[in-house]
Amino acid sequence: MWHFGDKVDALVEVREQDLSAEEKIGVLITDDQRLFASGLARIVDAQPDMEVLGEAHDGKEAVALCREKTPDVVLMDISMPVMDGVSATRKIRDLSPSTRILILTVHADDEHVFQGIKAGAQGYLLKDCTPETLARSIRAVYAGDTIMAEDIARKMLVTFELGSEGAKLLPPLTERELEVIAGFAQGKSNKQIAKALGITEKTVRNHASNIYRKLHIFDRTQAVLYAIREGLVDLDELESRYGKPDWGP
């Protein structure tokens, strides 16, 4: 079975090229384990295109720092005192919709991971990932893509299967909306989808909004998981219909 994690390296290699030499990704680190947070800060600061804007050690502090500094990406722990990562994610998304949130968790089966999706996080990595994977995932999330570790993707698919009752009552998707979801599943950006379908990026965004509204979901991750669960798309079908994923501009 295909998972988001399988495509991380290929995806981010393209995204890295999109950053100009002068542009830096502002990163806020949130973790109640200060030693781990410091380690994350060293990894981020070692990247020429990133800078650490601050460290928070609970969700409430993260929300306050986001209000003050408006980071591009927040590295978010889940289990923290005062305010947990899911609640902080929800508040930050309301406060600063442009801020991207990358959740770091210890276990793929953490009961709060699914809630993180509903709260609006764009990325989900296990804490035992390599520094290289972390840096590349930050770049990908900053560029507007969704990143998910393979083990977490598997857990999400199971969760969606268990919650599938009543899915048939949802409004049907149009053929073009299905094509847009297929583009999501291939890891394509809005620009790539627009080029492949011969439409504008604005039209792609409009289709995405309609998809989210119809399915009562919030982002690309949920759209693709829904499509896989319902059998709307799978890797073999995508490759036969659209060819191998194209990671070019």
Task: Kindly indicate the confidence band of residue 13, based on its pLDDT and cuts at 50, 70 and 90.
Answer: very low
| Domain boundaries 167-240, CATH class | mainly alpha
Residue intervals in the chain for CATH 3.40.50.2300 = 4-160
Determine contact, residues 160/226, Cβ cutoff 8 Å.
yes
- Indicate whether this model's pTM tops 0.75: no
Residue intervals in the chain for CATH 1.10.10.10 = 167-240
Q: What is the pLDDT of residues 203-236, one digit of tens each?
A: 998 888 888 777 767 677 777 777 766 666 654 5
Q: Say how far apart CA 97 and CA 189 lie, in whole Å.
A: 19
Q: What is the pLDDT of residues 146-181, one digit of tens each?
A: 777 766 666 665 555 544 444 444 567 888 888 888
Q: Which CATH number fits domain 4-160: 3.40.50.2300, 3.40.190.10, 3.40.50.720, 3.30.1450.10?
A: 3.40.50.2300
